Each structure stands twice: as structure tokens, then as C-alpha cells.
Amino acid sequence: MSKKRKKRTKWLKNFKFNKRSNRYINPYVGGFFLGLLIIVALYFSGEGLGSSGGYRDVAVAVLDKVTPEYAHNNSYIGPRLASGESPLKTWLVFELIGVIMGAILSAAIFNRLHLRIGKAPHLTDKKRLLFAVIGGILWGIGTQLGRGCTSGLVLSGMAVNSLSGYIGLIGIFGFGFIFAIIFKSIWIKTNK
């Protein structure tokens, strides 16, 4: 093996297989490309980047399969089933399928595909999972009430200067800082 080649593989090894340290891309570079992606989505499809809308479409499809009559008569989701098209054949659902693929691709490249529970070290696994499900439930309600989540409501909303996006920003991040004080013990080890 030539010296040059050896050097290159060593670099690659450090980059890919260093288990002790997480390597993330520069946040400003990531943000810049995310911004360009929003423009592409708006230019071609007239859609913002969204997540919770796709979750809702899946929930609607499940109810349509399990209790079609109830689903069609429900005043919140009934109108979405009126066209007769599958609620899964939406732009947002396909975007979310892409999100899964893209995340796996990135994690594979950076060697982060591991089965594990992410949490602050002092928190027990049981507590972490309990808090995760409670947080999820709150998001499920909040996104339907507030018309979107961090990506669809706030990020894409801010991109088009919508008042709604900025109200969402104040809601999620503004109140987030208040709740952060109340629930500090989930993330920060406090000496009792």
C-alpha cells in the first residue's frame, strides 16, 4: 500500500469509526442547505417542509381502515376523506418516507446507527421512556391545535414571513424556556 493511500484510509477510519465522539456537520452549513431546501420545496411543490401533517395523514388512514364510518363522519378528519383518494397519497407522507431514508443514510455514513436510549446520563431508562411518551402526547395535541410543528408551522412559516410562523415560534420556544425551568431535573443533574 502506498504511503498516500495509507494516509487516506487512516483519515477515513478516524472519521467513520471513532465511537467515542459524535461528528456533526457545521450548524451554519446545515442551516444554509436546509434554507435552500425550503425554497426548492416551495418553488416546485408549493409546500413547506413539514412533519406533523404527515403524522396526521397516517392517523387518518388508520381510522379510515379501522372505523371507516366514524372517520367519514368525524368533523375534523371527515373532510380529508371526502375526495375518495387514499389519505396516504399525499406529498407530506412521501416527504416523511424520504426523511426516514435520509436520516438512515446520514447515520450510516457517520456511524451512528445504534440501538440505544438517548437521555441525560443521570436519568433512568424507565423515566426517560415515560417522559418521551408524555412529551409525544403533548405534541400530538399541540400540532393539531396549533396547525403544525417546528418544521411546518414555524420554520416554513418564518420562511414566508407568515404571522402564524412567528406566533408558533413564540409559543414553542418562548414557552419552552419557561417549561425548561420547571422540568430542569430531566436534563440537568441537580445536587440534592
Partner 1 sequence: MGPLYPQEIINSEFNILIGLFIGVVFGFLLEASGFTNTRKLAGVFYGYDATVIKVFFTAAMTAAIGLLIMHYLGWIDVKLTFYPKTFWIPTLVGGAIMGAGFIIGGFCPGTSLCAAATGKIDAVVFIGGVFLGIFGFIFTYDSLFSGLRMSGKMGETDIAQWLGISDGLFIFIMIIVTFASFFVFQKWQDSHTKDMDQRDLNELGLKKPE
Total site size for partner 1, rule CB under 8 A: 122
Of positions 17, 28, 83, 126, contacts partner 1 by CB under 8 A: 28
Cβ distance to partner 1 smaller for residue 161 or 191: 161
Rounded to whole angstroms, how far apart are CA atoms 111 and 103?
12
Of positions 2, 163, 190, 191, contacts partner 1 by CB under 8 A: 163
Q: What's 121's DSSP letter?
A: T
Cβ distance to partner 1 smaller for residue 7 or 127: 127
Residues 133/122, Cβ–Cβ less than 8 Å: no
Cβ distance to partner 1 smaller for residue 3 or 136: 136
Cβ distance to partner 1 smaller for residue 11 or 187: 187
> Residue 87, interface with partner 1 (CB under 8 A)?
no
Residue span 102-131 as binding mask against partner 1, x where in contact by CB under 8 A, dash where not: xxxxxx--x-xxxxxxxxx-------xx-x
**Least distance from C-beta 9 to partner 1, angstroms?**
22
Core vs surface per residue 4-43: b (16+ CB within 10 A) or e? eeeeeeeeeeeeeeeeeeeeeeeeeeeeeeeeeebeebee
Rounded to whole angstroms, how far apart are CA atoms 143 and 25?
29
> Residue 20, interface with partner 1 (CB under 8 A)?
yes
Residues 166/156, Cβ–Cβ less than 8 Å: no
> Residue 15, interface with partner 1 (CB under 8 A)?
no
CB atoms within 10 A of CB 180: 12
